[in-house]
A = this chain, B = another copy of it.
């Protein structure tokens, strides 16, 4: 009823994360109805990003420059490096605005179940950066999952051998800001209790 062009657009939209057939229809119709105001700028922005954004060869962030803006920023502390699983986590760290060093994107975490071994991650580059000199501390900002914590331990072990002078730390665990005890899982409450500190 809608012709193959619109069907194809809806199929592709429905595969995007967070969208399904119903929201894809709404989006497609919205785009068709606002061809000049919405669809044309979106096509322009997508083409721009597709043509110009590339992964940074140093840290793995996405940017139009290589090395990326974070790696090139002279105001950032190049003696501290934050290791994250993927670019979404790097963006989350930047939004928090609490870290002003450099990053290293692993591209995943070790997972026996999903068959992700050390060779599938961006680990050699991490070791190379750490042995190259300037870095004094590596902050492992990996998820508080089994795979995330396994990966953190493996990285800590490897860096301990390859660059023994570097301090390796990981994010603190505890009650999230704004979190109520009643809604927290038992593991988080236990972790928060073990990480208790004097007031």
- List A residues at the B interface (Cβ < 8 Å): 1-3, 5-6, 8-9, 12-13, 15-19, 23, 25-33, 35, 38-43, 45-50, 52-53, 62-65, 69-70, 86-88, 90-91, 94-95
Contacts and interface: CB of A to CB of B under 8 A. Distances in A.
A25 B91 contact: yes
Contact of A9 (B26, B45, B69): B45
A88 B2 CA distance: 11
Given A17-B27, A91-B2, A91-B25, A32 B12 contact: no
Given A17-B27, A30-B17, A9 B48 contact: yes
Contacts of A13: 42
A12 B70 contact: no
B52 A46 contact: no
A5 B45 contact: yes
A107 to B, nearest CB: 10
